[in-house]
Structure 1
């Protein structure tokens, strides 16, 4: 008897054209950095934390009117305090689409006893995972893996994070900031394995992470160059989406589109989110609010 997985794999193979291109129209929503908290605004950074609830309600109304396969939030659902999830997650539950999350640095700005609960609150089985939709494999990374804030206080990854940060400072790298992070060797090996699995199944890959890796920026992962070097040698990787840098950013390198989506939390009343469409050799981003629209050509693997 054919399993559901084998039927889905066969359907994806029929839809796939040469070199992993798919003729299926895949549309999904993207939100970055709602960063909600019941707190006064930070006027210096232009962040209005409490206003994100109304911005999320408005975004949900727009996204619910669209035919989408899922909606992903690229981290920093909250700004601080575990109780903030109690206010914003009910708004996410109003989405009629499948909802995907990944973790940002502010998602760990909670009391130490709650650090291990963050992924579970968001319904995530693990901080890093992957899933396939319509011939595209989405690989979700945990850029907080080796950081000064996400691991428990006595975890050796905190010591490793301190060493990596000091090395970055010694090399005068612009991303030598305590609010950035990096991947463990174990997660990097897992990433290599998932990219190999996607290649074997003739799938193109979109990588999702909270932290940018290109172009060079103070917000980048400490190990950004390690990731871009890996992707450059994987012709089926077509895009990398992230948040964290609220101003947004974009680069094309080795035929890969590195898109930094703008933060929803910024400004008192202007939101930012997007609908992404991938079909054939095109990647279309329809921006809402402060998020720009983009029309991008995709490479063939």
Structure 2
């Protein structure tokens, strides 16, 4: 190993998807068990030297009041907590849809920050979707049109539970990557939906982001949840790491610590999450 000390370390949690409802055994999802698993994960992560812990969406499965229970578990975390929404976080009453990002304590639906010389970029793949805005909203209509176009060409990710990003957010992402490149910063992008390899869970316009990352040349990794079985791919300069869903399985947990070195990324998996060494 050429570098002994990582540039930084951070924790990753995906899809706790809590609700006070019976398990769906056909999907192996145990919604009521997530607060206990999350508490156990936080206890472990509290013992680690980390810059922050990110949760990659789907904190709840449904119902606004579910946020109270699952967010209270984070009170015991000693690290900075970075939260972002998934599709299920919008399974709330229509009048609450506009409040989801604020409930998660986000500074904005998409934003970026730097730690240890690395730029971290949070995207919001729910922006153009059937669930983040009510019927009649312009973005809801845009999502309907986008899904119809994808269905027409037989796209495997033309699913109502996937979302996409709008033109304004894409231009912001493009500019943010260019700014990081000018500063000589490598970039890690994080969102709820996978982008690569091709999968039924992928972001509705995911291939456009993959092309942008290849063009930018400074995105070393994209991290996501949503596809609960997990996945891994690499194209161009970028690793695409899909973390497994915490809500799945009755008792076994899943979360990770990610270490970034000058020459590689180390994923230290706990429970069902696999450990990986990803050369840069």
TM-score bracket, shorter-length normalisation: over 0.9
Q: CA deviation at 1:49?
A: 0.4
Q: Secondary structure at the match of 1:44?
A: helix
1:287 counterpart = 2:263: no
Instruction: Report how far residue 148 of structure 1 moved.
Output: 0.4
Q: Deviations over 1:124-149 (max 9, x none)?
A: 12111111101110110000000001
3-state SS, counterpart of residue 149 of structure 1: coil
What secondary structure does 2:108 align onto?
Answer: coil
Contact 2:122–2:191 under 8 Å retained in 1: yes
2:112 corresponds to which residue?
Answer: 130
Residues 101 and 122, structure 1, Cα contact 8 Å, conserved in 2:
yes
Residue 67 of structure 1 aligns to a residue whose secondary structure is: coil
- RMSD of aligned residue pairs (Cα, Å): 1.1
Q: CA deviation at 1:152?
A: 3.5
**Is residue 248 from structure 1 mapped to residue 225 from structure 2 by the alignment?**
no
Structure showing greater Rg? 1
**1:102 offset after TM fit, Å?**
1.0
Q: Which residue in the other structure is 1:268 paired with? A: 250
**Is the CA contact (8 Å cut-off) linking 1:24 and 1:134 kept in structure 2?**
no
Query: What is the aligned counterpart of 2:145 among 160, 163, 186?
Result: 163
- For 1:108 and 1:158, how far apart are their aligned partners in 2? 13
The count of residues paired between Structure 1 and Structure 2 equals 277
Work out the CA distance in 2 between the residues paired with 1:280 and 1:96: 27
Distance 2:12 2:111 in 1: 17
1:202 aligns with: 184
Question: CA-to-partner distance for each residue in 1:4-38, whole Å, 9 max, x for gaps?
Answer: xxxxxxxxxxxxxxxxx9x7620000000000000
Counterpart contact for 2:230–2:242, Cα < 8 Å? yes
Q: 1:117 aligns with which of 68, 88, 99?
A: 99
CA distance in 1, matches of 2:63, 2:77: 24
Residue aligning to 1:7: none
Partner secondary structure for residue 163 of structure 1: helix
The Cα shift of 1:93 comes to: 1.4
Q: Deviations over 1:180-204 (max 9, x none)?
A: 0101000000000110111111100
TM-score (norm 1): 0.90
Mapping 1:224-239, distance limit 5 Å: 224-239=206-221
Query: Please, which of 76, 79, 87 is the counterpart of residue 94 of structure 1?
Result: 76
Contact 1:147 1:180 in 2 (8 A): yes
- Structure 1 segments, 4+ long, off by >6 Å, are none
Equivalent of 2:154 in 164, 169, 172: 172
Q: Once the two structures are superposed, what CA deviation does each residue of 1:235-260 show, in whole Å capped at 9, x if it has no partner? A: 11100000000000000111310000
Q: Secondary structure at the match of 2:89?
A: helix
- Which residue of 25, 33, 36 maps to 1:51? 33
Are positions 1:61 and 2:49 aligned together? Answer: no
Q: Judge conservation of contact 1:244–1:263 (CA < 8 Å) in 2.
A: yes
CA contact (8 A) 2:10 2:257 kept: yes
Q: What runs of 5+ residues in structure 2 fail to find an aligned partner?
A: none
CA distance in 2, matches of 1:42, 1:152: 27
